[in-house]
Amino acid sequence: MRFTSKFIYPYLLILLWSIFYIPKTSAQEGPSPKLIVGVVIDQMRADYLYRYQNRYGEDGFKRLLREGFNFKNTNVNYIPSETAPGHASIYTGTTPSYHGIIGNSWYDRETKAVIGNVSDDQEYIVGSVVENPYGASPKKLLTSTITDELKQASNFKSKVISVSIKDRGAILPGGKAADAAYWHDWESSPGYFVSSSFYMKNIPDWVTKFNSEEKSDAYLNETWNTLYPIETYNASAPDNNAFEPSLSGKTSPTFPYDFKTMRAEARTKGTEFQLLWVSPKGNTLLTEFAITALQEEKLGKDEITDFLSISYSVPDVIGHTFGPQSVEMEDIYLRLDQDIATLLNALDTNVGKDNYTLFLTSDHGAIQNVSFLKENKLDAAIARTIGDARELEAFLDTKYGDGSWVSTVNGNNLYLNRTTIDEKN
């Protein structure tokens, strides 16, 4: 069985949609591809492929649709559909109840604390300018990933590199056997790419060199304006509206975004370099880093199949901030289309058109902004979360007697105190 058939099939049923670019000569029986490239676009809805299609170029999303295979009848068969469970499900081929990544965070009954999906206080961040006490690793992942399986199948001769803006977008696809997972550390360094001591003791020289170019800093001195005249963005709601928030340093949710001015205020809050997460340059930065990894790690340069995982996080942050109806979202995808074209061109040049297989998919989608729907006379409302659970505690006290009934509320999850339940029978 060919490598692509063996390892790609298991996780098709749990994806929103997937595009596989398999060159015609590679699709026939023959040598395994020299490189597999997995691209996840965080929070990309399937309709974005077509919603903005008339203004995509020929060498990005359109090329994938034109030359690849589009799997449409697919489903997410688990809850919650968040970044961490999504990435873990894509790369393990199974669901949270098996792979263990049941949310972006969850309550650990043993430690009685809310924990992150890749948080690990036994490891430390490698490559950060300022010492970072918050380590990260894939240790909470309970099953192997396709990247782990590739390493085993090649007797650990395959090279696996995973990159993202988010730590979880890099670590979970990379799995436990990856050679490296890198992400954008906005908190404790000036927008550098870092890794974990789980993978290495020191970052490679090429990563140090890339970081020394201070690309994050340079991109935050630019202004984001729409790629085309703003009046032509007919697939989106008006730029200035009441249901989109204003970013720090701005008085309205409108273009242009002068990041050089905005970063000054963000600096006082310690969030200066996080602004790249709401900038199209965040996607560009990641693309440049991925291409540098491709070249410096010499991926796809021999007959042993390598794997490059890339997760674009900016669309998710834009979606949570402005919503699917925003001009910001439309412009992000028009510019991301150019980044995808740049990536494909680099793969053609460095690996060869017929020597790699690429898939593009999403970890989850998003619903429309509630205020936007209501303004357009569609039924919509917000289901309020439990909050601090005081009303529930009071109800249970009245019904069963005083006790500590709720351990915690985390996101949409309510954790009852099992000890109290047992004591009260």
Report the C-alpha gap between 265 and 293 in whole angstroms.
33
Nearest to 115 by CA among 102, 132, 131: 102
Nearest to 42 by CA among 369, 229, 313: 313
Nearest to 315 by CA among 286, 346, 344, 358: 286
By the 8 A CB rule, do 59 and 93 touch? no
- Residue type, position 275, single letter: L
Q: Which of 83, 145, 287, 357 is catalytic?
A: 83
By the 8 A CB rule, do 135 and 121 touch? yes
Classify residue 62 as exposed, middle or buried by CB count within 10 Å of its CB (0-12, 13-18, 19+).
middle
Report the C-alpha gap between 320 and 78 in whole angstroms.
21
List C-alpha distances in Å: 385 to 113, 215, 266, 320, 382.
Answer: 20, 40, 29, 17, 9
Q: How far is CA 302 from the centre of its chain?
A: 29
> Would you state the torsion angle of the CA atoms of residues 262, 266, 271, 277, taken in this order, to the nearest 10 degrees?
-10
83 classed as catalytic: yes
- Residue type, position 272, single letter: E
Kindly tell me the sign of the dihedral angle through the C-alpha atoms of 234, 239, 244, 246: positive
Which residues does 267 contact at the CB level (< 8 Å), separation at least 6? none
Buried/exposed 294-310: b ≥16 CB within 10 Å, e otherwise: beebebbbeeebbbbbb
List C-alpha distances in Å: 333 to 53, 243, 314.
Answer: 10, 21, 10
Which residues does 232 contact at the CB level (< 8 Å), separation at least 6? none
Report the C-alpha gap between 373 and 383 in whole angstroms.
15
Active site residues: 83
